[in-house]
Structure 1
Amino acid sequence: MIDGADDGDVDGDALERRSAVRVVPPARPRKLAKVPFVELADGRLQGVVSSGSDLRRVYVSSFTAGTHDFSCSTNNNRPCGGLYGRPCKHLVALANEAVVQYGLERVARYLRVEVGEGDTLVSRLQGQAEQATAAAVFSRFLRHLAYLEVPDAVAPVPEMHWFPASGAAV
């Protein structure tokens, strides 16, 4: 994952001037089948979660930092049927995978929530359902999928210039 300006480590202008960014390794390896995309961006923990019942459907789910309000809808903005005043199973899966990807401390700090010993992240998020658009998150997810289809090459690939040149963190 790329460590961006939303994490508070580097200001946005500094990132725009750099040709390489610091890559933060995942806290633990994770399986991508259920939650193929998770990010801490735009003041939210957000991502794409696969449907448990329809292989062609995905949900775009998010928690807002600070308020802990949550949103879950299909990729074409139809609300999740599991939102009954509390986070649905897609939101729980998103939060759990974010903890695997980034670690509990980092996700809790980003969302501005205190998580005590024995608590889960979701148990401490006391927001309410809100309507958030899924388009931007889903678009970023599709862009990441497109990178998987780029054929192997030794020549530079212009649209991937922001990837680090080596496996070492910059």
Structure 2
Amino acid sequence: MRRSALSHWETSSLTRVLQPARPRKLAKVPFVELADGRLQGVVSSGSDIARVYVSSVAVGDYAFACSTNNNRPCGGARGSFCNHIRALIGEAVLQYGAERVARYLKVDPADDLNAAGVTNAMCATRPSAAAGGTAAAAPVFSRFLRHLSYLELQASTGPLPEMQWFPPTREVA
């Protein structure tokens, strides 16, 4: 394959961004991901602009955890999903689509394939707070901060040193 036949994406340090299932507002839930066997993300506090919560729901048993970025437990996550976890589920459905979120979490949401249906199906199983649930908070918050740092970079076709683990593109003459 000659250089001219390579696409723009194969010759630059930029990556294609997949569009969300539906547009979402990033002010309430700036970071959401399906990773490490959990739906997890960062949710802004409704009362303090300087506080965020790291919330997660585990695949299968729906064990949940919610704590501040300083590892203080959420006061609303006592025996059931707090508002932060509900907001996280809602934004995950907007980002990935209800079908993908339900499939990842192994939820069977009866007929309501939307955020409320997914949440209600999980709540019907009476999930419990995850033992040691705050252990996942640090890596999730760290990934969120890392994503924020990429927003500060100028668009460039040059390599990013921290991305050197990607295999180089071979050119065939």
Please report how far the alpha carbon of residue 158 of structure 1 lies from its aligned counterpart in structure 2 after TM superposition. Answer: 2.9
2:97 aligned to which of 95, 103, 119: 103
Give the CA RMSD over aligned residues.
2.3
The equivalent of 1:9 in structure 2 is none
Amino acid in the other structure paired with 1:155: G
1:33 aligns with 2:36: no
> If each structure's helix is expressed as a fraction of its own residues, which one has the higher value?
2
Asked whether the 8 Å contact 1:86–1:128 carries over to 2, the reply is: yes
For 1:37-76, what aligned pairs fall within 5 Å after superposition? 37-76=31-70
Q: Give the whole-Å Cα distance in 1 for the aligned partners of 2:18 and 2:154.
A: 25
Name the CA shift for 1:21/1:106 in 2 (closer, same or farther; >3 Å).
Answer: farther
Please report how far the alpha carbon of residue 78 of structure 1 lies from its aligned counterpart in structure 2 after TM superposition. Answer: 0.7
Count of aligned positions: 145
Please report how far the alpha carbon of residue 77 of structure 1 lies from its aligned counterpart in structure 2 after TM superposition. Answer: 1.0
For 1:149-168, what aligned pairs fall within 5 Å after superposition? 149-160=152-163
Q: Secondary structure at the match of 1:94?
A: helix
TM-score, scaled relative to structure 2 = 0.76
Q: Give the whole-Å Cα distance in 1 for the aligned partners of 2:23 and 2:165.
A: 23
Q: Give the whole-Å Cα distance in 1 for the aligned partners of 2:22 and 2:164.
A: 26
Please report how far the alpha carbon of residue 161 of structure 1 lies from its aligned counterpart in structure 2 after TM superposition. Answer: 6.2
Asked whether the 8 Å contact 2:67–2:74 carries over to 1, the reply is: yes
Q: Secondary structure at the match of 1:59?
A: strand
Instruction: List runs of 5+ in structure 1 lacking aligned partners.
Output: 1-18, 164-170
* Farther off after superposition, 24-33 or 93-102: 24-33
Which string of whole-angstrom CA distances, capped at 9 and with x for unpartnered residues, describes residues 76-123 of structure 1? 211000012110000000000000000011000100110122352111
Instruction: List runs of 5+ in structure 2 lacking aligned partners.
Output: 1-12, 167-173
Name the CA shift for 1:69/1:21 in 2 (closer, same or farther; >3 Å).
Answer: farther
Name the CA shift for 1:78/1:38 in 2 (closer, same or farther; >3 Å).
Answer: same
Q: Give the whole-Å Cα distance in 2 for the aligned partners of 1:45 and 1:23.
A: 20
Q: Which structure is larger by alpha-carbon Rg, 1 or 2?
A: 2
Identity rate, percent: 63
Name the CA shift for 1:136/1:78 in 2 (closer, same or farther; >3 Å).
Answer: same
